[in-house]
Amino acid sequence: MNSSASIEMPLYRLAHGRTGDKGNRSNISVIAFHPALWPVIEAQVTAERVAAHFAARAPSHVARYVLAQLQALNFVLDEVLEGGVNSALNLDSHGKALAFDLLQMTVALPRDLLVHCRGPQAA
């Protein structure tokens, strides 16, 4: 993508997220704010990028599920919750904050789609 035609943008400007957990598995959904933003999210928020984003948590597997009619992605990350709620000493052993962490990932957004983003407009 031509850098003058696009801008690096945190995912939280394009989408919102939800997180759930079961044992040592986290489930993170990313939902587009606007249908025009969906192709960017679908193309750039891959299982490989999500695995790399959470490398410090060392997921054993990351699966991506595309929910095109909802303009949403669902990611299932295995072995990321330090054993789960009953085993971990981590204060956020449920992993509820993982959606916020994932939404920090950046994507290359065509400038003409900025009007559909949430938050302050970039220069």
Question: Would residue 121 count as lying in a domain?
Answer: no
Task: Match 């290359």 to its residue by tokens.
Answer: 108
The pLDDT of residue 84 is: 56
Domain total of the chain:
1
- DSSP 3-state assignment of 115? helix
Question: Would residue 116 count as lying in a domain?
Answer: no
Rounded-to-10 torsion of CA 118, 9, 76, 84: -90
Question: Would residue 97 count as lying in a domain?
Answer: yes
Of 92, 122, 115, nearest to 8 by C-alpha is: 122
Question: Would residue 26 count as lying in a domain?
Answer: yes
Provide the domain limits for residue 89.
6-109
Rounded CA gap, 92 and 38, in Å?
Answer: 30
Q: What predicted TM-score, i.e. pTM, was given to this entire model?
A: 0.84
Question: Would residue 114 count as lying in a domain?
Answer: no
- pLDDT of the chain along its 123 residues, tens only? 444 699 999 999 999 999 887 777 888 999 999 999 999 999 999 999 999 999 998 999 999 999 999 999 999 999 787 655 555 555 554 566 888 999 999 999 999 999 999 986 654
Question: Would residue 27 count as lying in a domain?
Answer: yes
Phi, psi of 108 (to 5 degrees): -90, 115
Question: Would residue 48 count as lying in a domain?
Answer: yes
Question: Would residue 89 count as lying in a domain?
Answer: yes
CATH of the domain at 88: 3.30.70
